Amino acid sequence: APQPRRQPRGGEDAGEGAAAGGALFRHCPSGGGGKKAPKEEVCLRDIDPVQFKVLVRGGASSPLETLDQKQAFMRLHPGALYLHQRLAYFVEELDLSARVAWVSPREPKRLDYYTECREHSQVVLGGGGLSRPAALPEGGGCAGAPVVRCGGVTAHWRMYGFRKRAKEDHRLLDQVDLTLPPVEYATRAVWMDIPGSVLQPVDRAGRSVDRGGLHSLEHAMLALAPLCCDVEAAELSCQHTRRDADPNRYLLLLYEGQKGGAGAADKVYLQWEALLERSVRLLEECPCQDGCPKCIVIPQCGEYNHGLDKTAALMVGRALGFGSQPAAVPWAATAGGEEGAGGGPEAAAAAGGAEPGG
Protein backbone atom coordinates (compact mmCIF):
# COMPACT_ATOMS: atom_id res chain seq x y z
CA ALA A 1 0.00 0.00 0.00
CA PRO A 2 1.37 3.45 -0.81
CA GLN A 3 2.65 5.36 2.19
CA PRO A 4 1.24 8.85 2.86
CA ARG A 5 3.59 11.65 2.00
CA ARG A 6 5.01 13.38 5.06
CA GLN A 7 5.14 17.14 5.25
CA PRO A 8 8.71 18.49 5.36
CA ARG A 9 9.89 20.47 8.35
CA GLY A 10 11.02 23.36 6.17
CA GLY A 11 10.94 24.53 2.59
CA GLU A 12 8.14 25.82 0.45
CA ASP A 13 5.40 23.62 1.94
CA ALA A 14 6.23 24.79 5.44
CA GLY A 15 6.26 28.39 4.27
CA GLU A 16 2.86 28.00 2.66
CA GLY A 17 1.47 26.46 5.86
CA ALA A 18 2.85 29.31 7.92
CA ALA A 19 1.34 31.82 5.53
CA ALA A 20 -2.01 30.08 5.68
CA GLY A 21 -1.80 29.91 9.45
CA GLY A 22 -0.99 33.58 9.61
CA ALA A 23 -4.04 34.39 7.51
CA LEU A 24 -6.19 32.02 9.52
CA PHE A 25 -5.27 33.43 12.93
CA ARG A 26 -4.84 37.02 11.87
CA HIS A 27 -7.98 38.00 13.84
CA CYS A 28 -6.40 36.79 17.11
CA PRO A 29 -4.00 39.55 18.19
CA SER A 30 -1.05 38.64 20.36
CA GLY A 31 -1.44 41.64 22.60
CA GLY A 32 0.24 44.27 20.45
CA GLY A 33 -1.32 47.32 18.87
CA GLY A 34 -3.58 48.04 21.85
CA LYS A 35 -6.11 45.36 20.88
CA LYS A 36 -7.71 43.05 23.42
CA ALA A 37 -7.46 39.28 23.30
CA PRO A 38 -10.67 37.38 22.42
CA LYS A 39 -11.02 36.10 26.00
CA GLU A 40 -11.29 39.73 27.13
CA GLU A 41 -13.82 40.63 24.45
CA VAL A 42 -16.23 37.72 25.05
CA CYS A 43 -17.97 37.07 28.37
CA LEU A 44 -17.80 33.38 29.24
CA ARG A 45 -20.79 33.57 31.61
CA ASP A 46 -23.30 35.08 29.18
CA ILE A 47 -23.46 35.35 25.39
CA ASP A 48 -26.09 38.10 25.46
CA PRO A 49 -24.71 41.04 23.44
CA VAL A 50 -26.60 43.55 25.61
CA GLN A 51 -24.43 44.02 28.72
CA PHE A 52 -24.70 46.64 31.47
CA LYS A 53 -21.68 47.86 33.45
CA VAL A 54 -21.82 48.61 37.17
CA LEU A 55 -19.80 51.73 38.00
CA VAL A 56 -19.28 53.32 41.42
CA ARG A 57 -20.06 57.02 41.48
CA GLY A 58 -16.81 58.86 42.13
CA GLY A 59 -14.84 55.61 42.21
CA ALA A 60 -12.59 53.71 39.83
CA SER A 61 -13.34 53.65 36.12
CA SER A 62 -13.28 49.85 35.99
CA PRO A 63 -16.74 48.26 36.47
CA LEU A 64 -17.59 46.08 39.44
CA GLU A 65 -19.13 43.55 37.05
CA THR A 66 -21.25 43.31 33.91
CA LEU A 67 -24.79 41.92 33.75
CA ASP A 68 -27.14 41.09 30.89
CA GLN A 69 -30.26 43.14 30.31
CA LYS A 70 -32.66 41.02 32.36
CA GLN A 71 -30.32 40.70 35.34
CA ALA A 72 -29.56 44.42 35.16
CA PHE A 73 -33.25 45.32 35.34
CA MET A 74 -33.77 42.93 38.27
CA ARG A 75 -30.75 43.92 40.35
CA LEU A 76 -29.76 47.39 39.12
CA HIS A 77 -33.05 49.23 38.80
CA PRO A 78 -33.18 52.74 40.34
CA GLY A 79 -33.67 52.50 44.10
CA ALA A 80 -32.39 48.93 44.41
CA LEU A 81 -29.92 47.69 47.01
CA TYR A 82 -27.20 45.95 45.04
CA LEU A 83 -24.96 43.41 46.80
CA HIS A 84 -21.53 42.58 45.43
CA GLN A 85 -18.84 40.60 47.27
CA ARG A 86 -20.38 41.20 50.71
CA LEU A 87 -20.60 44.94 50.03
CA ALA A 88 -23.84 46.89 49.64
CA TYR A 89 -24.50 49.60 47.07
CA PHE A 90 -27.46 51.86 46.40
CA VAL A 91 -28.42 52.15 42.73
CA GLU A 92 -28.76 55.84 41.93
CA GLU A 93 -29.26 55.68 38.17
CA LEU A 94 -29.66 53.15 35.37
CA ASP A 95 -28.60 54.72 32.07
CA LEU A 96 -30.31 52.66 29.36
CA SER A 97 -28.63 54.42 26.43
CA ALA A 98 -25.08 54.08 27.81
CA ARG A 99 -25.88 50.71 29.45
CA VAL A 100 -24.35 51.82 32.74
CA ALA A 101 -25.68 51.52 36.30
CA TRP A 102 -24.33 54.14 38.73
CA VAL A 103 -24.14 52.98 42.34
CA SER A 104 -22.90 54.42 45.62
CA PRO A 105 -21.57 52.37 48.58
CA ARG A 106 -23.65 51.83 51.70
CA GLU A 107 -22.92 50.28 55.09
CA PRO A 108 -24.71 46.89 55.11
CA LYS A 109 -25.17 46.83 58.90
CA ARG A 110 -27.02 50.14 58.84
CA LEU A 111 -29.53 49.03 56.23
CA ASP A 112 -32.76 47.78 57.79
CA TYR A 113 -34.50 46.83 54.55
CA TYR A 114 -33.97 44.99 51.27
CA THR A 115 -35.55 45.28 47.83
CA GLU A 116 -37.23 42.73 45.60
CA CYS A 117 -38.37 43.34 42.03
CA ARG A 118 -41.94 43.01 40.79
CA GLU A 119 -41.87 41.19 37.48
CA HIS A 120 -44.07 39.26 35.10
CA SER A 121 -43.12 36.54 32.61
CA GLN A 122 -45.36 35.33 29.81
CA VAL A 123 -44.63 32.56 27.32
CA VAL A 124 -46.13 32.71 23.83
CA LEU A 125 -46.24 29.31 22.17
CA GLY A 126 -45.06 28.88 18.58
CA GLY A 127 -46.24 26.46 15.95
CA GLY A 128 -44.67 23.16 14.99
CA GLY A 129 -42.30 21.23 17.20
CA LEU A 130 -42.60 17.76 18.70
CA SER A 131 -45.72 16.22 20.23
CA ARG A 132 -46.83 12.84 21.57
CA PRO A 133 -49.52 11.44 23.89
CA ALA A 134 -48.42 11.38 27.51
CA ALA A 135 -47.76 7.88 28.87
CA LEU A 136 -49.76 8.20 32.09
CA PRO A 137 -50.11 5.36 34.63
CA GLU A 138 -53.39 3.52 34.97
CA GLY A 139 -55.69 4.45 37.81
CA GLY A 140 -55.77 8.21 37.37
CA GLY A 141 -58.92 10.27 37.03
CA CYS A 142 -57.83 11.80 33.72
CA ALA A 143 -60.35 11.58 30.88
CA GLY A 144 -58.28 11.22 27.72
CA ALA A 145 -54.52 11.26 27.28
CA PRO A 146 -52.91 14.70 27.59
CA VAL A 147 -50.40 15.70 24.93
CA VAL A 148 -46.77 16.51 25.72
CA ARG A 149 -45.24 19.08 23.37
CA CYS A 150 -41.80 20.58 22.80
CA GLY A 151 -41.04 23.47 20.50
CA GLY A 152 -40.06 27.08 20.03
CA VAL A 153 -41.64 29.80 22.14
CA THR A 154 -41.20 33.51 22.76
CA ALA A 155 -40.59 34.60 26.34
CA HIS A 156 -41.83 38.05 27.34
CA TRP A 157 -40.40 39.41 30.59
CA ARG A 158 -41.23 42.78 32.10
CA MET A 159 -40.30 44.45 35.36
CA TYR A 160 -42.87 46.99 36.53
CA GLY A 161 -41.60 47.98 40.00
CA PHE A 162 -40.06 46.82 43.25
CA ARG A 163 -40.89 46.34 46.92
CA LYS A 164 -39.02 47.42 50.03
CA ARG A 165 -39.24 44.93 52.89
CA ALA A 166 -37.91 45.04 56.44
CA LYS A 167 -35.00 42.74 57.18
CA GLU A 168 -36.29 41.85 60.63
CA ASP A 169 -39.77 40.52 59.83
CA HIS A 170 -40.02 40.90 56.00
CA ARG A 171 -43.02 43.22 56.30
CA LEU A 172 -43.81 45.45 53.34
CA LEU A 173 -42.46 48.99 53.79
CA ASP A 174 -43.04 50.51 50.38
CA GLN A 175 -44.02 49.60 46.84
CA VAL A 176 -42.60 51.59 43.93
CA ASP A 177 -43.67 51.53 40.27
CA LEU A 178 -41.10 51.67 37.47
CA THR A 179 -41.24 51.93 33.70
CA LEU A 180 -38.64 49.76 32.01
CA PRO A 181 -38.70 48.32 28.48
CA PRO A 182 -39.75 44.66 28.16
CA VAL A 183 -37.27 41.90 27.42
CA GLU A 184 -38.27 39.47 24.67
CA TYR A 185 -36.33 36.52 23.34
CA ALA A 186 -36.92 33.28 21.46
CA THR A 187 -36.24 30.03 23.29
CA ARG A 188 -37.58 26.47 23.62
CA ALA A 189 -40.08 24.96 26.03
CA VAL A 190 -41.78 21.69 26.95
CA TRP A 191 -45.37 21.60 28.16
CA MET A 192 -48.42 19.42 28.68
CA ASP A 193 -52.06 20.43 28.40
CA ILE A 194 -54.00 19.39 31.51
CA PRO A 195 -57.58 18.17 30.91
CA GLY A 196 -60.42 19.97 32.62
CA SER A 197 -61.40 16.73 34.38
CA VAL A 198 -58.17 17.10 36.40
CA LEU A 199 -58.34 20.84 37.08
CA GLN A 200 -62.05 21.23 37.80
CA PRO A 201 -62.15 19.22 41.09
CA VAL A 202 -59.16 21.16 42.41
CA ASP A 203 -60.97 24.41 41.72
CA ARG A 204 -64.16 23.15 43.35
CA ALA A 205 -62.22 22.20 46.46
CA GLY A 206 -61.38 25.89 46.91
CA ARG A 207 -57.73 25.49 45.93
CA SER A 208 -55.72 27.70 43.62
CA VAL A 209 -55.26 25.75 40.39
CA ASP A 210 -52.76 27.76 38.36
CA ARG A 211 -50.85 29.99 40.78
CA GLY A 212 -50.96 27.38 43.53
CA GLY A 213 -51.13 23.81 42.22
CA LEU A 214 -49.51 23.96 38.77
CA HIS A 215 -46.94 26.49 39.96
CA SER A 216 -45.94 24.25 42.89
CA LEU A 217 -45.73 21.16 40.69
CA GLU A 218 -43.49 23.03 38.25
CA HIS A 219 -41.23 24.02 41.15
CA ALA A 220 -40.81 20.37 42.14
CA MET A 221 -40.03 19.46 38.53
CA LEU A 222 -37.41 22.22 38.33
CA ALA A 223 -35.76 20.93 41.50
CA LEU A 224 -35.57 17.33 40.20
CA ALA A 225 -34.74 18.07 36.55
CA PRO A 226 -30.95 17.77 37.14
CA LEU A 227 -31.45 14.24 38.55
CA CYS A 228 -33.82 12.99 35.84
CA CYS A 229 -32.84 14.84 32.69
CA ASP A 230 -29.10 15.67 32.99
CA VAL A 231 -29.64 19.44 32.90
CA GLU A 232 -28.71 22.30 35.19
CA ALA A 233 -31.46 23.75 37.36
CA ALA A 234 -30.54 27.27 36.23
CA GLU A 235 -31.23 26.37 32.59
CA LEU A 236 -34.99 26.05 33.12
CA SER A 237 -37.76 28.26 34.41
CA CYS A 238 -41.55 28.16 34.65
CA GLN A 239 -44.54 30.48 34.61
CA HIS A 240 -43.91 31.89 38.08
CA THR A 241 -46.07 35.00 37.72
CA ARG A 242 -49.32 33.71 36.26
CA ARG A 243 -51.98 36.33 35.56
CA ASP A 244 -55.64 35.99 34.64
CA ALA A 245 -54.96 37.30 31.12
CA ASP A 246 -52.21 34.75 30.38
CA PRO A 247 -53.53 32.27 27.80
CA ASN A 248 -51.23 29.44 28.96
CA ARG A 249 -51.65 29.66 32.72
CA TYR A 250 -53.37 26.25 32.88
CA LEU A 251 -50.49 24.46 31.15
CA LEU A 252 -47.76 22.54 32.95
CA LEU A 253 -44.83 24.28 31.26
CA LEU A 254 -41.05 24.56 31.61
CA TYR A 255 -38.99 26.78 29.33
CA GLU A 256 -35.31 27.57 28.88
CA GLY A 257 -34.02 30.85 30.22
CA GLN A 258 -31.18 30.96 27.69
CA LYS A 259 -31.88 32.89 24.51
CA GLY A 260 -32.37 30.47 21.64
CA GLY A 261 -32.35 27.47 23.98
CA ALA A 262 -29.50 25.05 24.66
CA GLY A 263 -31.26 21.68 24.41
CA ALA A 264 -32.55 21.39 27.98
CA ALA A 265 -36.21 21.41 26.92
CA ASP A 266 -35.66 18.53 24.51
CA LYS A 267 -34.05 16.46 27.28
CA VAL A 268 -37.00 17.11 29.59
CA TYR A 269 -39.39 16.19 26.77
CA LEU A 270 -37.88 12.70 26.57
CA GLN A 271 -38.08 12.17 30.35
CA TRP A 272 -41.32 14.07 31.03
CA GLU A 273 -43.31 11.26 32.65
CA ALA A 274 -40.36 10.10 34.78
CA LEU A 275 -39.78 13.66 35.98
CA LEU A 276 -43.45 14.14 36.78
CA GLU A 277 -43.60 10.83 38.67
CA ARG A 278 -40.60 11.68 40.85
CA SER A 279 -41.96 15.16 41.50
CA VAL A 280 -45.28 13.84 42.82
CA ARG A 281 -43.48 11.30 45.00
CA LEU A 282 -41.30 14.10 46.37
CA LEU A 283 -44.42 16.00 47.43
CA GLU A 284 -45.83 12.88 49.08
CA GLU A 285 -42.66 11.94 50.95
CA CYS A 286 -41.81 15.42 52.20
CA PRO A 287 -43.17 15.72 55.79
CA CYS A 288 -43.98 19.43 55.54
CA GLN A 289 -47.58 20.57 55.20
CA ASP A 290 -47.44 23.79 53.19
CA GLY A 291 -44.16 23.42 51.28
CA CYS A 292 -40.51 23.87 52.17
CA PRO A 293 -37.10 24.11 50.44
CA LYS A 294 -37.01 20.30 50.26
CA CYS A 295 -39.97 20.13 47.89
CA ILE A 296 -41.50 23.24 46.27
CA VAL A 297 -39.64 26.31 47.59
CA ILE A 298 -36.87 27.26 45.14
CA PRO A 299 -34.55 30.29 45.15
CA GLN A 300 -35.13 31.33 41.50
CA CYS A 301 -38.89 31.87 41.78
CA GLY A 302 -39.96 35.13 40.16
CA GLU A 303 -42.93 35.36 42.56
CA TYR A 304 -40.67 34.75 45.60
CA ASN A 305 -42.57 31.51 46.36
CA HIS A 306 -45.77 33.38 47.21
CA GLY A 307 -49.09 31.62 46.64
CA LEU A 308 -47.74 28.06 46.44
CA ASP A 309 -50.21 25.28 47.27
CA LYS A 310 -48.67 21.87 47.92
CA THR A 311 -52.05 20.20 48.44
CA ALA A 312 -53.34 21.43 45.09
CA ALA A 313 -50.16 20.17 43.40
CA LEU A 314 -50.73 16.72 44.92
CA MET A 315 -54.33 16.77 43.70
CA VAL A 316 -53.21 17.42 40.14
CA GLY A 317 -50.43 14.83 40.25
CA ARG A 318 -52.62 12.09 41.70
CA ALA A 319 -55.43 12.82 39.26
CA LEU A 320 -52.93 12.24 36.46
CA GLY A 321 -52.19 8.80 37.94
CA PHE A 322 -48.86 9.50 39.64
CA GLY A 323 -47.89 8.98 43.25
CA SER A 324 -47.99 6.02 45.60
CA GLN A 325 -51.80 6.09 45.88
CA PRO A 326 -53.12 7.74 42.72
CA ALA A 327 -56.65 6.39 43.22
CA ALA A 328 -56.97 7.83 46.76
CA VAL A 329 -58.16 11.34 45.97
CA PRO A 330 -59.35 12.96 49.25
CA TRP A 331 -61.19 15.69 47.35
CA ALA A 332 -63.36 13.31 45.28
CA ALA A 333 -66.20 13.59 47.80
CA THR A 334 -66.20 17.39 47.49
CA ALA A 335 -66.34 17.43 43.70
CA GLY A 336 -69.90 18.71 43.81
CA GLY A 337 -69.16 21.47 46.31
CA GLU A 338 -68.88 25.18 45.76
CA GLU A 339 -66.72 26.45 42.97
CA GLY A 340 -63.51 28.28 43.76
CA ALA A 341 -62.15 31.43 42.23
CA GLY A 342 -61.56 31.53 38.51
CA GLY A 343 -63.55 29.91 35.72
CA GLY A 344 -60.56 28.54 33.83
CA PRO A 345 -60.90 24.88 34.88
CA GLU A 346 -64.63 24.95 34.12
CA ALA A 347 -63.96 26.33 30.67
CA ALA A 348 -61.21 23.78 30.14
CA ALA A 349 -63.59 20.95 31.07
CA ALA A 350 -66.21 22.25 28.67
CA ALA A 351 -63.65 22.41 25.88
CA GLY A 352 -62.33 18.94 26.69
CA GLY A 353 -59.02 20.13 28.11
CA ALA A 354 -56.72 23.09 28.43
CA GLU A 355 -55.67 25.01 25.36
CA PRO A 356 -53.02 22.88 23.61
CA GLY A 357 -51.19 25.75 22.00
CA GLY A 358 -49.11 24.92 18.97
| CB-based contacts of 30, cutoff 8 Å, min separation 6 | none
pLDDT value of position 354: 40
Alpha helices (H) along 192-271 = 196-204, 215-229, 264-270
Q: Are 123 and 255 in contact (CB under 8 A)?
A: yes
Question: What does the pLDDT read at residue 46?
Answer: 61
- For residues 88 and 131, the answer to whether their CB atoms sit within 8 Å is no
Q: What is the pLDDT of residue 127?
A: 79
pLDDT tens digit sequence for 8-52: 555 445 445 444 444 444 445 545 556 777 766 666 656 677 889
What is the C-alpha separation between 81 and 78, in angstroms, rounded? 9
- pLDDT for 240 equals 83
Residues of the chain with pLDDT under 50: 11-12, 14-15, 17-27, 30, 326-344, 346-358
Q: What is the pTM of this model?
A: 0.71
Count of CA atoms in the C-beta half-sphere (13 A) of 153: 30
Residue type, 358: G
Distance, in Å, from the CA atom of 165 to the CA atom of 171, rounded to the nearest integer, reads 5
Are the C-beta atoms of 344 and 209 separated by less than 8 Å?
A: yes
> Alpha helix (H) ranges present in the chain?
12-24, 38-41, 69-75, 196-204, 215-229, 264-270, 272-285, 310-319, 344-351
